[in-house]
Structure 1
Amino acid sequence: MGLRKVLPPGQKPLQADNSLFIVNIVLLLILFFLATGQLMNSRDVPVLLSKTTELDIESLPKPLLLVGADGALTLDGTDLSSQEAAETLAQLSLVHVLIEGEAPATRLIDLMARPELEKVEVRLVTIHYRGEGA
């Protein structure tokens, strides 16, 4: 017992502070995402949309809902008012939608949000433009 009183009290072993490693990793990730984000946004990639000069409506799938430039709806060549569109589209189980490439995306989103299309399978029809030489 006398020997214990002579020795200084024992020290706890030092533990490494792991929070420093976590902070370093977070800072490296932030740096990485800032660098790659600037690289991705620095390039300007042009997008060329397809264009159709002559459209044969008869070769497209039926029933075809054509969305005009002004938002007017035409089903298989028949113009539809808003009320007629609601009644007619609610009776269909499948409809093919053709909308011009330059139309705002909100026009298509608004069309898809209509309640009468809730239970209708909608397929978006696209037309491939081959150019004048093909």
Structure 2
Amino acid sequence: MSSYKKILAAIDLTEEAPQVINKAAEIAKVHGAELVLAHVVEPVGYAYGGDIPMDLTELQDQLDAAAKEQLANYGASHGVSTENQVVTVGRPESEIHRLQEDRGVDLIVVGSHGRSGIQLLLGSTANGVLHGAKCDVLAVRIS
């Protein structure tokens, strides 16, 4: 097994996020690696169909602020510097791949719900991350 130097824990800020962060933190400790926490906020227009003739900027700003606050709490409890707490807006798979390349990440840790067999990853963000990543990806089974 290679030695990891920078690990990206890509989380969705649900009640399951600590499972992913804890696994990433354990691996980071074993390898003496730097830990980066990231959350991708999907653009509000995607969630509401994208064709609504209204300004959703305030709602997007509120979602971003709430995500940053929650990520800061996780970061503080795991000793992750503010520079390594990233909230970005976009498509989760694309943004995670971009962060991996921009920050020189050599392991991405994501959560995956416990479906059986091939369905474990298909159709999920974890699947998209896995198939486009240029580094190792660990899918943590969410229990």
TM-score class, shorter-chain normalisation, is 0.3 to 0.5
Alignment TM-score, normalising by the size of structure 1: 0.33
Greater helix content: 2
Q: Where is the strand percentage greater, Structure 1 or Structure 2?
A: 2
Bigger relative CO (Cα 8 Å, ≥ 6 apart): 2
